[in-house]
Chain A
Amino acid sequence: MLSLFWHEVRARRGLFIGWGVGLVIFFGVYLSFYPALPAEMRNLDLQSIELYRAFGNLSMATFEGYIGSTIFHFFSVLVAVLAIVTGTGVLAGEEDAGTLELQLALPLARWQLVTAKTLELAVIGFGVLAVAGLAAAGFFLAIRAQLTTPLDAGDLFRATVSHWPLVLLFQTLSLWLGAVTPSRRVALAIATVILIVSFLGYNLVGMAPDLEGLRPLSPFHYRPSTPEMLNDGPALGDMAILTIAALVFYGLAVVSFDRRDVTTGTWLWARLIRR
């Protein structure tokens, strides 16, 4: 199982490099942009604009506010997209591509295959976040002299890497969807809808006090990089909730894949329909 895992990680190094470079550019653009922001723009009350409120508690008044509410806000969506792409890429993507069949011919139980894939996803997620975190810290050091902030480079690295449970949650959710749906395309579509609904829903619900109680249903409620968390570190309870949810989806993926007729391109429950 471990040899398959290492092989898979090596085989996906292109994806790792691609996402790593993309996130380095993301931090480079956003961080180097902040010192150039004119004072009147920093003092804009973005919350008074309905459209901006739909994207969350945006603020650019302080560097911590900018980092926490703007950069990491969109970063969490970006890494969720990474998670969905990678999560549906294994099992469902391999089944579509036809490369899964020879792996199933190996003397491995299906739970071992799903576990190897989950470990691979976890390593890819962590690796990409670590690269992005180093980039965030590096770009921060480059502009540090122009900032007034109690944050240090380590805070940015920690805030970036602490997105790992969120990434893992969307990865295992996508992995599970890949095990129950007929194709990667369907799994990708459903996972994307879940991402959009949970992200926009989380922000829009914040605009209606009566619906505030729904916020904990969104994974973004537990994102680890609010302005407060940048100073104090991520809430371990939130990270634990995301990790437990990820483990639940891993378990569902194991159970679902064990019942799947691979290569048939059918829904998991298709075999329950008899002639």
Chain B
Amino acid sequence: MQVVIGGEDSVAVPAIELRNLTVYYGRQRGVEDLNLIVEPGEVFGFLGPNGAGKTTTLRVLLDIIRPTRGQALIFGRDCRREGPQIRRQVGYLPGELSLPANLTARQYLAMLDAARGHPVTASYLNQLCAQLELDLDRPMRTYSRGNKQKVGLVAALMFRPQLFILDEPTSGLDPLAQQMVLELVRTARTEGRTVFFSSHILPEVQAVCDRVGIIRAGRLVAVERVDALLQRQQVHRLRLRFAAPLPPAAFDLPGVTELARSDCEVTLEVREHLAHVLRIAADLGAIELETMPLTLEEVFLAYYGAQGGNHAQPVLA
């Protein structure tokens, strides 16, 4: 959906806009001076290690937590002042999902549907449940963590909102269900919906997101298109083959790490002095050079490595 304001010179209203968003919990830092625009129809991955401020940001968007300073807007509306109107268009999956144990999923979803004014069609609900292989008629106390997560996903998706805010949506799901969730995200994008998707599982972000924002210690340290981030990689991995055995310590340079070595072959991770490495390879008579693309995960790790870290490493899938 393209939300626009104005007349002929109308401009697209961002699906999400953060303006100097700052949250403190007393003296404790939540997030600081976040500025971000997510365009309508975009799948945006919000990446960061645990404790970086992802969930805080998402909760501000839902008006569960109030900003200390700054502003969060959804479709041009202030999340604080116009929360109920905004939430009509937002499907939310919390990161720490808890469901009432004594109800069946069907009863619970029926309540959510009624509270929203019955926007859910039975056929779409059935389709979602079939896709996720979810039985709605059991008490939720009998559900596994993965099934509870599926109920949360159905609750977020079933009324076809314009914006999905998903906090680590694949958490607790088996690999098949994870793929199904990513497929649902892709479907949402093809339908023109916006997805704001927090995760610390990088391959899934790489698989579905158009752009990613990297948050570290409460600050947004990078916002990039996924393809650009991969292209702008700071680390290069090269595999070189030589006609003759390599002398030892041939690539003993600062910023260059040997990942593997045999008589006539070496795999290098090069952070600095790439031109120098290539000159040495040429001088030694390299007969084959292969560049090995880094995954987003590796780029992310490299980024954190360069920046110092947040006392937390991303949890790798």
A residues sitting closer than 8 Å to B (CB atoms) are: 1, 3-4, 7, 10-11, 14, 97-99, 101-102, 104-109, 112, 259, 261-264, 266, 270-271, 273-275
Contact = CB atoms under 8 A, between A and B. Distances in A.
A14 B24 contact: no
A52 B98 CA distance: 47
Contact of A102 (B26, B65, B94): B94
Interface centre among A105, A259, A273, by most chain B C-beta atoms within 10 angstroms, is A105
Contact of B25 (A98, A104, A107, A261): A261
A11 B102 contact: yes
B83 A109 contact: yes
A7 B59 CA distance: 24
9 contacts: A3-B114, A4-B114, A7-B107, A97-B98, A98-B98, A101-B59, A107-B87, A264-B65, A271-B68
B111 interface: yes
A264 B84 contact: no
B25 A99 contact: no
Contacts, number: 92
B84 A108 contact: yes
B172 to A, nearest CB: 14
B64 interface: yes
Contacts of A273: 26-27
A87 to B, nearest CB: 18
Interface in B72-124: 83-88, 90, 92, 94, 96-100, 102-103, 107, 111-112, 114-116
Nearest to B91: A105
Contacts of A259: 66
Contacts of A106: 87, 112, 115-116
Interface residues of B, number: 36
A215 B196 CA distance: 57
B17 interface: no
B54 to A, nearest CB: 14
Contacts of A102: 92, 94, 97, 99, 112, 152, 155
Contact of A261 (B65, B90, B97): B65
Contacts of A97: 98
A271 B24 contact: yes
A108 B87 CA distance: 8
A104 B96 CA distance: 14
Contacts of A1: 115
B62 interface: yes
Contacts of B27: 273-275
B87 A99 contact: no
Nearest to A99: B98
A11 B100 CA distance: 8
B231 to A, nearest CB: 37
B26 A270 contact: yes
B64 A262 contact: yes
A270 B86 CA distance: 27
| Top 9 A-B residue pairs of the complex, sorted by shortest distance between their CB atoms | A98-B98, A3-B114, A7-B111, A105-B92, A270-B26, A107-B88, A107-B87, A273-B26, A107-B84
A95 B215 CA distance: 26
A12 to B, nearest CB: 9
Nearest to B87: A107
Contact of A101 (B29, B64, B114): B64
Given A4-B111, A98-B98, A262-B64, A105 B87 contact: yes
A262 B25 CA distance: 11
B103 A266 contact: no
Contact of A271 (B26, B64, B155): B26
B68 A104 contact: no
A104 B90 CA distance: 12
A109 B102 contact: no
A14 B98 contact: no
Nearest to B155: A102
A48 B62 CA distance: 62
B24 A275 contact: yes
A107 B24 contact: no
A263 B99 CA distance: 15
Contacts of A11: 100, 102-103
B26 A266 contact: yes
Contacts of A275: 24, 27, 29
A231 to B, nearest CB: 43
B25 A266 contact: yes
Contacts of A263: 59, 64-65
Given A106-B115, A274-B68, 14 more contacts: A7-B107, A11-B102, A14-B102, A98-B94, A101-B98, A104-B63, A105-B87, A105-B94, A107-B87, A108-B84, A262-B64, A264-B65, A270-B25, A270-B26
A99 B68 CA distance: 25
Given A102-B112, A107-B84, A107-B116, A262 B65 contact: yes
A55 to B, nearest CB: 37
B111 A101 contact: no
Interface string B13-41: 00000000000111101000000000000
